[in-house]
Structure 1
Amino acid sequence: MLTPAPHDKVMAARDVVRRWRAGELAMTFDVAMPDYPARPEKPELLPPSAMPKRGRGSAHGRLALLHALAHIEFVAIDLALDAAGRFGAQMGRQFVDDWLSVAADEAMHFALIARRLRTLGSFYGAMPAHDGLWDAARETAHDVAARLAVVPMVLEARALDVTPMTVERFLQAGDERSARILQRIVDDEIRHVRFGTTHFSAVCQTRGESPVDLWKTLVQQHFRGAVKPPFNDSARRSAGLSREMMAGVACLQSPPHTPIHEMAGGSDQL
């Protein structure tokens, strides 16, 4: 998390996961997690409200969308590592296994999109980005249930809703390679959201709480935005998000604060 250069962060994340799986790292959590991960000089990070709009349907707009997605995946590496390091002692080995696996996936996703950007004549850092996603980590650093409720079960779940439409946009533009990359990402995100719902249910069982009720409460408290349809029902069911849970939070609007924008591949809020 303290490695700023994108390529170095990808390699470091892969190395941590490899060493953990090889049994070279102890189940010991005696180092405080950083409040904020290291970031490269580029991209320039702007407030979400200052982000330039992307031209929908244009080649530049698609390039800007890929850049936004690359930034999401880059930040997601740190989100997964932070979950493993911050809550691993409390949650146990399977939790660490799962979130380090997510970190490896996010590193791979970032590398794929960054390579695609270079192929298209651009690079990660060529455009501004915003840091709204890390706001979710700061907002939920005190409680594993809140972290799971907001990051995998809202932000990553939203990607299940919108990424298929983004895939279709790239296919219509004749960019099959980018579409295949995004399809690979959304397939992996189903598993990531399932990790979130599984561990959230375990926390609820330990606390004697209803998963539906606690999720609704935590989303109200910690997610700054609206959870609204359309939903990708089949993908959400595969990830363990039931219709009952969605009925509990759909169109729920949290009180106004600094916005935490969604992981929405087709949104101009990225």
Structure 2
Amino acid sequence: MHPRLRALQALVLPDPAQKVAATRALAIDCAPRPPEDACWTEPIRLPGDDADVPGRPERPVRVGAKDVPTRSPFTEEGRAALVHAICHIEFNAINLALDALWRFDGMPADYYRDWLRVADEEAFHFTLIHDHLQSMGWRYGDFPGHDGLWTMCEKTADDVVARMALVPRTLEARGLDATPLIQAKLARVGTPDAHAAMAILDIILRDEIGHVAVGNRWYRWLCEREGLEPLIHYRHLYRAHQAPRLKPPFNMDARSRAGFTEDELQGLAADAT
């Protein structure tokens, strides 16, 4: 079966465990004998409309970003809510990687290979953090979650340039900034479950640098193909799609390793002062 069609089939699965299994199986099957370039680039179409994209379980209850309750990490339930929030992000990240893989025709084969790798790593992250959540006595779906990541996927469904600009290199890049702050909170808690979560976040941060780099790579490739100036066009897309405002502090080291240019980093530094 067409690997991108298999990605779509994984995307529409509502059960997290089944979605993870299907995603990881696709990556495993493509590893020893990768499909030919022509197989990746062959156009595919979604039967019907996008009504079933993505597949999601009934829980967690989805609320606005400002409506997610704030809980102290110094309580057991508060730490579980924090871990659940990370779990929710990783579940959505599987969906956005699978969507980037199946949706956009006309990209080089390496684009699809990159996003399959990202989807596989996001599935691994979800498994790590969900296993940890269950060790704390909770499961994915036990707390509400917001829809920020997928909302931007919907806004950019018809524009691969906007998708690369505003999902991996904007929303996911915010995770590079937030992770050290979360780890610092957990370090102050100091409990065994907090230290275990910090270790998982080390793995997630390491891999997310590479995921943001994928977004940077393909955003710049697309800008070059279409004769767009990356910084100017990014500002246009940012305003047109009402992307969330970037707030300091910024993880400049991680952003640099993820491929942000010196001009971009200087712009962020200026915004932070």
What range is the shorter-chain TM-score in? 0.7 to 0.9
Q: TM-score, normalised by structure 1?
A: 0.87
Over aligned residue pairs, what C-alpha RMSD do you find?
2.0
Residue deviations 1:11-62 (CA, integer Å, cap 9, x gap): 0111122223333683233232835311112212223343222225433222
Contact 1:29–1:85 under 8 Å retained in 2: no
2:43 is the alignment partner of 1:29: yes
2:21 is the alignment partner of 1:4: no
2:103 pairs, out of 86, 109, 128, with 86
Q: Which amino acid aligns with 1:16?
A: L
Question: Counterparts of 1:237 and 1:231 in 2: how far apart (Å)?
Answer: 11
Question: Counterparts of 1:161 and 1:131 in 2: how far apart (Å)?
Answer: 19
Deviation, structure 1 residue 247: 4.8
Q: How does 1:66-81 map to 2 (within 5 A)?
A: 66-81=83-98
Residue deviations 1:58-117 (CA, integer Å, cap 9, x gap): 332221111011011001101001001112x31111000101100001100000010001
Aligned residue in 2 for 1:108: 124
Between Structure 1 and Structure 2, which shows a larger proportion of helix residues?
2
Contact 2:166–2:243 under 8 Å retained in 1: no
Which deviates further from its counterpart, 72-81 or 128-137?
A: 128-137
Question: Counterparts of 2:35 and 2:107 in 1: how far apart (Å)?
Answer: 20
Question: Counterparts of 1:112 and 1:172 in 2: how far apart (Å)?
Answer: 22
2:68 is the alignment partner of 1:51: yes
Question: Counterparts of 1:180 and 1:141 in 2: how far apart (Å)?
Answer: 34
Q: How does 1:1-270 map to 2 (within 5 A)?
A: 1-21=11-31, 22-23=33-34, 26-27=39-40, 28-32=42-46, 34=50, 36-87=53-104, 89-174=105-190, 175-248=194-267
Question: Counterparts of 1:96 and 1:186 in 2: how far apart (Å)?
Answer: 22
Deviation, structure 1 residue 227: 1.3
Q: Which amino acid aligns with 1:236?
A: R
Partner SS, residue 143 of structure 2: coil
Question: Counterparts of 2:245 and 2:82 in 1: how far apart (Å)?
Answer: 22
Which deviates further from its counterpart, 180-189 or 16-25?
A: 16-25
Question: Counterparts of 1:19 and 1:244 in 2: how far apart (Å)?
Answer: 40
Question: Counterparts of 1:30 and 1:148 in 2: how far apart (Å)?
Answer: 20
Q: Tell me, which stretches of 5 or more residues in structure 1 are unaligned?
A: 253-270
Contact 1:5–1:40 under 8 Å retained in 2: yes
Question: Counterparts of 1:220 and 1:192 in 2: how far apart (Å)?
Answer: 23
Aligned residue in 1 for 2:7: none
The structure, 1 or 2, with the larger RCO (C-alpha pairs under 8 Å, 6+ apart) is 1
Count of aligned positions: 251
Q: Which amino acid aligns with 1:19?
A: D
Deviation, structure 1 residue 132: 2.1
Question: Counterparts of 2:62 and 2:150 in 1: how far apart (Å)?
Answer: 12
Question: Counterparts of 2:116 and 2:99 in 1: how far apart (Å)?
Answer: 10
Deviation, structure 1 residue 197: 0.6
Residue deviations 1:93-145 (CA, integer Å, cap 9, x gap): 10001011000011000000100011111111111112221101011111111
Aligned residue in 2 for 1:266: none
Contact 1:148–1:200 under 8 Å retained in 2: yes
Question: Counterparts of 1:145 and 1:157 in 2: how far apart (Å)?
Answer: 16
Q: Tell me, which stretches of 5 or more residues in structure 2 are unaligned?
A: 1-10
Question: Counterparts of 2:208 and 2:242 in 1: how far apart (Å)?
Answer: 19
Runs of 4+ in 1 over 4 A off after TM superposition: 246-252
Question: Counterparts of 1:183 and 1:23 in 2: how far apart (Å)?
Answer: 30
